[in-house]
Amino acid sequence: MSLDREFSEDGKELTIFLEEKFDFGKVQDFRLAYTEGNDGVSSIVINLQKTEYMDSSALGMLLNMQKSLRDSVQSFKITHCRPQVLKILQIAHFGKKFDIA
C-alpha cells in the first residue's frame, strides 16, 4: 500500500493521507487503506492536504468507501482541502455526505 495512514491512540479513528493525484490509479491502494486492519474504527478522516488533482473516479471511491463501511463507521470527514479540490467537492454536494473541514 502506497498511501500513508495513521490510527488514533485509542484505535477508533483512521486517517488516510492522499497524494498529489487522487484518481483511478489509486483505487486499489485506497481500498486497502480503509479495509485492512480497521477493526474498531468508528471514524475515518481523509486528509487531502497534498492533493492538487481529483477526478470523478476519486469521488466514486469516496462514496464506495462510505457505502461499504456505513454499518461499522459512524463518521466520515474530509480535511485540509486545497481550494481547487474543495470546489470540486462543493460542486458535487459532498458536504451532504461528508463532514468537510
Task: From 8, 57, 5, 58, select the one nearest 35 (Cα to Cα).
Answer: 5
Alpha carbon distance 72, 41 (integer Å): 8
Mean pLDDT, 10 residues at a time, the chain of 101 residues: 89 96 96 93 97 96 96 96 96 96 90
Task: From 44, 46, 51, select the one nearest 19 (Cα to Cα).
Answer: 51
Classify strands 13-17 and 43-47 as parallel, antiparallel or unpaired: parallel
> Which CATH number describes the domain made up of 4-100?
3.30.750.24
**Structure confidence at residue 36 (pLDDT):** 92
Contact 63, 92 (CB under 8 A): no
**Structure confidence at residue 1 (pLDDT):** 52
Alpha carbon distance 78, 30 (integer Å): 14
Domain definitions of the chain by residue range: 4-100
Give this prediction's pTM: 0.94
